[in-house]
């Protein structure tokens, strides 16, 4: 299918180094972006969406979602939460480990089987059109290099430290080192304990373990001692992830420190859901709005932290509006009846944006009104379609 989005007012690219560019058109062919900006030719497109002057952004990448199996969370006993996140503009979720699977195994063979099964279950399953990268191996005592090599050969490419039965968090370091040598992305729980059986992991532990990502560096839900943030920022190159289900004050603190160091490329935004804090389809937008409205980070840079930065750290071909990238695109606008002229001004004012359309994998998932946000001020619509589907969301 060939698709075009026309009459885009502005592009928020997702690129932290070039966050805004001129609007115009986005052309997509077979799930890949082939043109971005003015001058796109869309005469032969199967589907043409008129953005009516909205802003286009990459689909959000939530790099901290505790999936289980299917579109269900036993933590909140809710079906369909991932599809609901799509209506918040999230087109990709990354597993923060399947730790909430009821009765999850904790022996080496069990955690390997859990990671492989989760990864394979979501290979071709896209709830609501969302791409889910599942199967993060939970590091437990007894795992060996051979175990990590085995699951990596089967397609598992992430490991998670922080929920295993190690007495001292520093004991994760050898397994994380092996994972990084194999090219696997490593993530470590940061802050106080979050569930029974987990423990506190602070800056000195992160520096000893040296993972790719400090998960919810602002606390999940409780933050580490304040002096640890400067150590992580100035003494490491670890990517630092802010989560909505964490501590707001330390989110502001660590963002300011990364700005001071000139390392905004290390800032990631996610939700850490579902948790005891609930399900948050708009959680990433709230974090972006907090940073923007409190004059810590311009909204376009917050969007880059939620899209392109996540894509770079996790090695994904999405998160940036550019030719050759996967076509995960969201149209956002000021909320109808609000005080601001467009979505970026709204975020700077502390408002969430209205979501007017979501395209993932080059396929429109809805065009019109999100069921999770207010209506848009402008009205996106399908002006041409050779496909027997109108992509509307009027039933929601």
Mean pLDDT across 352-377 = 97
Q: Are residues 50 and 81 in the same domain?
A: no
In-domain check, residue 218:
yes
pTM of the model as a whole: 0.97
Domain match, 380 and 341 both: yes
- Is 307 part of a structural domain of the chain? no
Read off the DSSP letter of residue 324: T
Helix intervals (H) in the chain: 81-86, 108-121, 145-153, 173-181, 203-209, 227-235, 248-261, 283-293, 299-306, 308-314, 343-348
Whether the CB-CB separation of 131 and 360 falls below 8 Å is answered with yes
Total structural domains within the chain: 2
Q: What is the mean pLDDT of residues 41-50?
A: 96
Question: In angstroms, what CA-CA distances link 387 with 94, 119, 145, 356, 391?
Answer: 31, 31, 50, 20, 10
Mean pLDDT of the chain: 95
Per the structure, the complete domain to which residue 269 belongs is given by 60-281
Report the pLDDT value the prediction gives residue 151, as an integer from 0 to 100: 98
Burial class of residue 30 in the structure, from the number of CB atoms within 10 Å of its CB (0-12 exposed, 13-18 middle, 19+ buried): exposed
Structure confidence by residue, pLDDT tens digits, 257-309: 999 999 999 999 999 999 988 999 999 999 999 999 999 999 999 999 999 99
- What pLDDT score was predicted for residue 119? 98
Whether residue 170 sits in one domain with residue 116 = yes
Say how far apart CA 55 and CA 36 lie, in whole Å: 13
Dihedrals φ, ψ of 225, to 5°?
-55, 145
Q: Are 308 and 58 in contact (CB under 8 A)?
A: yes
Q: Which pLDDT score, from 0 to 100, does residue 369 have?
A: 87
Let me know: does 361 contact 317? Beta carbons within 8 Å. Answer: no
Helix (H, G, I), strand (E, B) or coil at 4: strand
> Are 64 and 211 in a shared domain?
yes
392 confidence band (pLDDT: 50, 70, 90): low
Question: Tens digit of pLDDT for each residue in 112-161?
Answer: 999 999 999 999 999 999 999 999 999 999 999 999 999 999 999 999 99
Q: Residue 46: what pLDDT? A: 97
Residues 185 and 113 in one domain: yes
- Write the CATH number for 77: 3.20.20.140
Instruction: Name the one residue in this structure whose structure tokens are 């996610």.
Output: 270
Say if CB 320 and CB 21 are below 8 A apart: no
In terms of domains, do 158 and 262 share one? Answer: yes
45 and 125 co-located in one domain: no
Identify the burial level of 276 via C-beta atoms within 10 angstroms of its C-beta, where 0-12 means exposed, 13-18 middle and 19 or more buried: exposed
Report the interhelical angle of 283-293 vs 299-306 (nearest 10°): 150
CB of 56 closer than 8 Å to CB of 253:
no
What CA–CA distance (Å, rounded) separates 263 from 246? 21
Is 301 a domain residue?
Answer: no
Looking at the fold, whether 33 and 151 belong to one and the same domain comes out as: no
Per residue in 54-104, pLDDT (tens digit) is: 999 999 999 999 999 999 999 999 999 999 999 999 999 999 999 999 999
Instruction: To the nearest 10°, report the CA torsion of 15, 21, 26, 32.
Output: -20
pLDDT, tens digit (0-9, with 9 covering 90-100), for 311-321: 999 999 999 99
pLDDT value of residue 197: 57
25-52: average pLDDT = 96
312 is a domain residue = no
**pLDDT number for residue 228:** 97
User: Tokens for 95?
Assistant: 């597993």
Q: What is the pLDDT of residues 181-205, one digit of tens each?
A: 999 999 999 998 765 555 689 999 9
Q: Which percentage of the chain shows pLDDT scores above 70?
A: 97
Q: What confidence score (pLDDT) does residue 35 get?
A: 98
Domain boundary among 227, 261, 281: 281
* CA atoms of 390 and 22, how far apart (whole Å): 28
CATH number at residue 24: 2.30.40.10
With a CB cutoff of 8 Å and minimum separation 6, the contacts of 263 are 233
Decide if 158 contacts 185 (C-beta within 8 A).
Answer: yes
Give residue 395's pLDDT: 41
Residue 218 has pLDDT above 80, yes or no: yes
Residues 6+ apart with CB under 8 A from 125: 70, 132
Please give the pLDDT value at position 363: 97
């Amino acid at each position: 299918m060939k698709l075009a989005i026309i009459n885009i007012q502005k592009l928020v690219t997702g690129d932290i180094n070039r966050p805004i560019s001129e609007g115009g058109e986005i052309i997509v062919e077979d799930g890949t972006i082939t043109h971005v900006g003015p001058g796109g030719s869309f005469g032969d497109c199967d589907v043409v969406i008129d953005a009516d002057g909205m802003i286009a952004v990459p689909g959000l990448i939530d790099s901290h979602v505790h999936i289980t199996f299917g579109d269900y969370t036993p933590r909140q006993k809710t079906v369909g939460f991932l599809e609901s996140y799509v209506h918040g503009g999230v087109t990709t979720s990354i597993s923060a480990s399947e730790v909430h699977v009821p009765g999850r195994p904790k022996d080496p063979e069990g955690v390997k089987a859990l990671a492989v099964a989760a990864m394979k279950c979501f290979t071709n399953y896209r709830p609501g059109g969302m791409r889910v990268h599942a199967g993060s191996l939970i590091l437990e005592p007894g795992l060996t290099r051979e175990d990590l090599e085995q699951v990596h050969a089967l397609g598992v490419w992430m490991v998670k430290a922080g929920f295993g039965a190690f007495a001292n968090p520093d004991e994760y370091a050898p397994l994380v080192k092996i994972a990084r040598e194999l090219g696997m992305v490593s993530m470590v729980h940061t802050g106080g304990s979050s569930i029974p059986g987990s423990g506190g992991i602070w800056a000195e532990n992160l520096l000893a373990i040296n993972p790719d990502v400090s998960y919810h560096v602002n606390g999940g839900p409780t933050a580490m001692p304040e002096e640890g943030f400067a150590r992580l920022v100035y003494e490491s190159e670890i990517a630092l992830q802010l989560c909505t289900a964490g501590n707001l004050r330390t989110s502001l603190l660590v963002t300011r420190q990364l700005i001071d160091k000139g390392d905004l490329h290390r800032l990631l935004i996610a939700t850490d859901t579902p948790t005891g804090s609930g399900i948050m389809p708009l959680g990433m937008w709230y974090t972006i709005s907090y940073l923007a409205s409190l004059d810590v980070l311009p909204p376009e840079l917050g969007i880059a932290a939620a899209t392109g930065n996540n894509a770079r750290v996790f090695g994904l071909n999405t998160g940036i509006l550019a030719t050759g990238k996967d076509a995960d695109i969201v149209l956002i606008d000021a909320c109808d009846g609000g005080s601001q002229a467009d979505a970026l001004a709204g975020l700077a004012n502390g408002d969430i944006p209205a979501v007017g359309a979501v395209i993932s994998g080059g396929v429109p998932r809805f065009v019109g009104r999100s069921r999770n946000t207010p209506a848009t001020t402008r009205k996106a619509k399908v002006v041409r379609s050779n496909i027997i589907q109108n992509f509307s969301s009027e039933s929601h």
